[in-house]
Amino acid sequence: MNAPVAALEPGQDTWQRYRANLPRHLMGIARHLQSEVMQTLTQRRGHTGLRLGFEPFMTLIGQHGARITDLADWLGISKQACNQTINQIEQAGYVRRDADPVDGRAKVLQLTVQGRRLVREGAAASAAVQAQYLALLGEADYADFAALVDRLCAGLEFAHPMHRVARSNGADLVGALLGRLSDYVQQRLMEFTGARGHPRLKMSFAQVLGLIGPGGGRIGQIARIQQVSKQAVGAVVGELEALGYIRRGADPADARVQLLRFSPSGLQLLADSVASVEELEREFAAIIGAAGLSRLRTLAASLYAALALESEVFQSRPALDAIARQLIQQLGPQGGRELARLLLGYIREE
């Protein structure tokens, strides 16, 4: 049997900056929006062959069509990688290849009838989720949030092609851009942190490292929040153990459960991650200004808190957590959100 894992704690300020920062909040909101839209499309609209990675391709093809070479340039990927994904989208029935009227040797990707339906239903699902966000933040604050995301993506070289084409195609900008912005945030944080002495980081590590709180982390909990299998999380945990960033042992509260904690090397990674967040936020400030950055921080933090994203990892109120989980089981996700809006309304009235 594994021995209990001893607590290793960084300073309270480091934990606070690690768990409450703009990049983390933007990634959490983006993941929530994508998850809600995917659930609607797959479970309610019958798009069983759909994958999350299809979304930027479908948005960029839009009403006017696009060449694979253009898609690859806009997304910053190789033509081969782009073609592999397009093959999957084509097999799912969402796009077709037509002859290019300008160059008969080339092909233009066009949405099929099924593809146009997917785009319409995806936009409607995204609008429904964003209506929840508006109800939680209020109309003026959500408009500010959307405008700042728009300005930020317009100024980021990584996101600008998506921003420009999505706007020309009349796409829902927040729905189209949040996922792209989240990808950029993860990529840049990995680059910054790698340069601080962690060259073997992978994008997949974020789904585990970001959900280990002061009290540790649990594979089942992480899998539930990320909506992936325990096996997938376990594989990432194994890689992080091999690199010496985390260690696991018996949970003092339940010996049947393994508890994940940062090792000393992991705590250094945490501190370096905080420094990387600050570096990334300076990049953002150069685009939207210090006042814009401050405003976006406030709005993203408010929405993140209202959605209670990842709160079970960092809250120190287990009884309240248990009540919340029980209510969600009884009311379902939609009922839980409606209850949250009601409670937030009562709080504001006071």
Q: 8-22, 127-141, 160-174 — which one is most confidently predicted on average?
A: 127-141
Given a cut of 90, whether residue 94 has pLDDT beyond it is yes
N- to C-terminal Cα distance for the chain? Answer: 51
Average pLDDT, the chain: 86
Q: Is 285 within 8 Å of 293 (Cβ atoms)?
A: yes
Q: Is 36 within 8 Å of 129 (Cβ atoms)?
A: yes
Residue with tokens 């814009």: 292
What is the DSSP annotation of 157-177?
Answer: TTTHHHHHHHHHTT--HHHHH
Region of residue 254 (phi > 0: left; psi between -120 and 50: alpha; otherwise: beta):
beta
In tens, the pLDDT along 44-76 reads 999 988 998 898 899 889 888 999 999 998 888
Given a cut of 90, whether residue 211 has pLDDT beyond it is no
Residue with tokens 């099924």: 114
In tens, the pLDDT along 219-252 reads 988 888 777 889 999 999 999 999 999 999 888 8
Given a cut of 80, whether residue 32 has pLDDT beyond it is yes
Residue among 6, 21, 1, 3 nearest 216 (CA): 6
Query: Between the CA of residue 200 and those of 80, 119, 205, 269, 275, what are the distances in Å?
Result: 25, 37, 10, 12, 18
Instruction: Check residue 54 and report its DSSP letter.
Output: G
In this structure, of 138-142, 226-230, 306-310, 331-335, the range with the lowest mean pLDDT score is: 331-335
pLDDT score, position 112: 96
Other C-beta atoms closer than 10 Å to the C-beta of 142 total: 20
What is the DSSP annotation of 193-247?
Answer: HHHTT-TT--GGGHHHHTT-BTTBB-HHHHHHHHTS-HHHHHHHHHHHHHTTSEE
- Helical ranges in the chain per DSSP H: 12-19, 22-39, 55-61, 68-75, 79-91, 113-137, 139-155, 160-168, 173-195, 206-209, 219-226, 230-242, 264-306, 311-314, 318-349
Residue among 259, 278, 252, 189 nearest 221 (CA): 259
**% of the chain at pLDDT higher than 90:** 54
pLDDT score, position 5: 43
pTM: 0.81
Arithmetic mean of pLDDT, 145-174: 84
